[in-house]
């Protein structure tokens, strides 16, 4: 229950709501990672990529070698195998097709040493005829471990940004000249 509440607070960026002038003012969540890209793809197609493990693996641009669903019941548990040989188990705590939002936290067993919690959210939004994909991550732990995980997740998000862009490129076969 605590993780669900934390995820809700994380996703809305609010830690308190002023009601009847009795509560303190809301404070904005300070994200440890903020990655935004605009891709030349329709929003529903981008959502399909994030909803399909094979397409998501392809979109990782080689960063992820496998995605295996361990438990399909909410929260959905899945194992992410990285191309460098590492892996992690993460839980999809929110998967809202109508809002184009996915919230994910690292399983306690996959938290690196020195990290107390790690979670990230993916927001997919229409932007004219293109789509904005937004990653936000919040990590709690000691500074050294936090810095290492921020570097890892930043590299992962960057790889997805490149992979998504590659998926929008249409190749035109060369015409044979005789």
Does residue 1 have a pLDDT over 90? Answer: no
Count each helix (H run) and each strand (E run) in the chain, helices first. Answer: 4, 7
Q: What's the full length of the chain, in residues?
A: 178
HSE-CB at 116 with a 13 A cutoff on CA atoms is: 6
pLDDT computed for residue 79 by the predictor: 97
Does residue 117 have a pLDDT over 80? Answer: yes
Does residue 8 have a pLDDT over 90? Answer: no
pLDDT computed for residue 28 by the predictor: 78
Q: Which CATH architecture has domain 30-168?
A: 2-Layer Sandwich (3.30)
Lowest mean pLDDT among 22-26, 90-94, 122-126, 134-138: 22-26
pLDDT computed for residue 50 by the predictor: 96
Non-local (6+) Cβ contacts of 66 within 8 A are 57, 79, 80, 81
pLDDT computed for residue 62 by the predictor: 96
């Amino acid at each position: 229950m605590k993780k669900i509440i934390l995820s809700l607070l994380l996703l809305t960026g609010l830690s308190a709501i002023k009601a009847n002038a009795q509560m303190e003012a809301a404070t904005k969540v300070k994200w440890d990672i903020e990655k935004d890209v605009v891709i030349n793809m329709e929003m529903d197609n981008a959502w399909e990529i994030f909803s399909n493990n094979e397409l998501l693996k392809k979109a990782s641009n080689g960063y992820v070698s496998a995605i295996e669903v361990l438990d399909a019941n909410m929260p959905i548990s899945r194992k992410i195998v990285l191309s460098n040989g590492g892996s992690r188990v993460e839980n999809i705590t929110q998967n809202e097709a109508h809002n184009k939002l996915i919230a994910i936290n690292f399983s306690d067993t996959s938290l690196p040493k020195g990290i107390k919690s790690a979670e990230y959210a993916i927001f997919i939004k229409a932007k004219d005829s293109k789509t904005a994909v937004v990653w936000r991550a919040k990590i709690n732990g000691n500074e050294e471990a936090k810095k290492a995980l921020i570097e890892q997740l930043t590299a992962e998000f960057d790889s997805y940004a490149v992979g998504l862009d590659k998926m929008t490129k249409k190749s035109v076969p060369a015409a044979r000249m005789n």
